[in-house]
């Protein structure tokens, strides 16, 4: 994907987006394992939290547009992407939040603007509740809410993980890219035809690269139950963090009502921008929307 044009699958340049992102990947040695991350830009930091089964590559287009304004950091969650995690490490949302705090400490980052999607949005909400001093602002795209976590449409993936079959299903994407576009791509992108082969490879390959990684991919999904956000609403209602909500209104996993719930719940919400026809992972297709709204939230645009 050419991040500079905001498309999910334009013809790759001589140095493709995936190659460039791979070359920029670094690892932080933490007690949680070796956490993969990509960093671009300088100054005040912004932390980009991806969804499942993606990794930090989800945010390449937004990071390219925002790295002139922020030190942009996109880590890979434990159990997803390229992070290397010990066998018995918890992959639950609260452990993911604790890992992110340790990562920020390792990178000497005291406070961040968070941009988050999907299950990453759940972790972001936990950070707001448990570490409010670390969060300057919060931009949420389609993501979990306390009344809808995990959403019903994720339950089949959880059941596949319980049967130790999810990794096999995902591995099929690597040999049948058309299948990946017709199934996963159609569910999460407005235009799945532009879900590029190299993007599919970058997302799926690490998840099925070894027996341990397959087991952790399953464990990540099993850790989505019980609801990691249970009981969080009352604390979010006292949050002082400025929040902006940017929501794809064509998503049938997290509906517009989820966006309205967040808008009602956060007292410092600055409202909702609905993106017409956009689905769950629209930040890949429309990174310019993320950049525009982030700059507005950060009072730079």
User: Which structure tokens are listed for 226?
Assistant: 């019980």
Above pLDDT 70, what percent of the chain?
Answer: 95
Q: How far apart are CA 137 and CA 184, in angstroms?
A: 31
Sheet order of strands, 45-49 included: 26-30, 33-40, 71-75, 45-49, 112-118, 135-143, 243-248, 269-275
pLDDT computed for residue 237 by the predictor: 98
C-alpha distances out from residue 282 to 55, 59, 87, 121, 274, Å: 14, 10, 33, 14, 11
Using CA atoms, how far residue 118 sits from 54, 109, 115, 125, 142, in Å, is: 10, 24, 11, 11, 6
Q: Tokens 């009502």 map to which residue?
A: 257
Percentages (nearest 5) of helix, strand, coil residues in the chain: 45, 20, 35
Q: Which residues contact 227 (CB under 8 A, 6 or more apart)?
A: 146, 149, 150
What is the spatial distance between Cα 286 and Cα 297, in angstroms, rounded to a whole number? 17
pLDDT value of position 301: 77
Minimal CA–CA distance to 82: which of 25, 20, 36? 36
When mean pLDDT is compared across 7-11, 104-108, 121-125, 220-224, the lowest value belongs to: 7-11
- Any residues with CB less than 8 A from the CB of 162 and at least 6 apart, and which? 218, 222
pLDDT 10s digits, 148-188: 999 999 999 999 999 999 999 999 999 999 999 999 999 99
pLDDT tier at 14, thresholds 50, 70, 90 = low
Average of pLDDT values for 221-235? 98
Going by C-alpha positions, the residue among 218, 230, 282 that lies closest to residue 253 is 282
CB 199 within 8 A of CB 57: yes
Q: What is the pLDDT of residues 47-85, one digit of tens each?
A: 999 999 999 999 999 999 999 999 999 999 999 999 999
- What is the pLDDT, as a whole number, of residue 26? 98
User: CA of 45: how far to CAs of 102, 115, 211, 276, 290, in Å?
Assistant: 15, 11, 35, 30, 16
Spatial contact of 128 and 239, defined as CB atoms under 8 Å apart: yes
Instruction: Specify the pairing of strand 26-30 against strand 33-40.
Output: antiparallel
- How far is it, in rounded angstroms, from Cα 101 to Cα 107? 10
Residue 1's pLDDT is what? 33
188/103 Cα distance (integer angstroms) = 29
Residue 39 has pLDDT above 80, yes or no: yes
> Within 13 Å of residue 136, how many CA atoms lie on the same side as its CB?
16
């Amino acid at each position: 994907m050419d991040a500079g044009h905001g498309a999910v699958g334009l013809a790759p340049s001589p140095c493709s987006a995936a190659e460039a992102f791979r070359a920029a990947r670094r690892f932080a040695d933490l007690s949680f394992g070796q956490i993969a991350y990509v960093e671009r830009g300088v100054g005040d930091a912004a932390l980009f939290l991806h969804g499942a089964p993606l990794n930090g590559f989800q945010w390449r287009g937004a990071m390219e547009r925002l790295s002139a304004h922020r030190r942009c950091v996109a880590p890979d969650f434990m159990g997803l992407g390229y992070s290397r995690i010990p066998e018995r490490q918890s992959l639950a949302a609260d452990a993911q939040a604790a890992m992110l705090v340790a990562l920020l400490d390792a990178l000497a980052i005291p406070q961040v603007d968070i941009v988050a999607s999907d299950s990453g949005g759940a972790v972001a909400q936990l950070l707001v509740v448990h570490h409010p001093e670390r969060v300057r602002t919060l931009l949420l795209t389609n993501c979990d809410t306390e009344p809808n976590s995990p959403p019903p449409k994720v339950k089949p993936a959880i059941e596949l993980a319980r049967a130790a079959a999810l990794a096999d299903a995902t591995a099929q994407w690597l040999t049948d890219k058309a299948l990946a576009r017709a199934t996963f791509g159609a569910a999460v992108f407005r235009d799945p035809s532009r879900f590029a082969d190299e993007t599919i490879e970058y997302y799926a390959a690490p998840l099925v690269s070894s027996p341990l990684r397959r087991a952790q991919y399953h464990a990540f999904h099993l850790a989505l139950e019980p609801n990691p956000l249970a009981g969080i609403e009352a604390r979010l209602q006292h949050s002082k963090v400025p929040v902006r909500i940017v929501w794809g209104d064509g998503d049938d996993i997290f509906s517009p009502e989820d966006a309205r719930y967040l808008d009602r719940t956060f007292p410092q919400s600055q409202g909702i921008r609905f993106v017409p026809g956009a689905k769950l992972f629209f930040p890949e297709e429309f990174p310019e929307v993320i950049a525009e709204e982030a700059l507005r939230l950060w009072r730079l645009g």
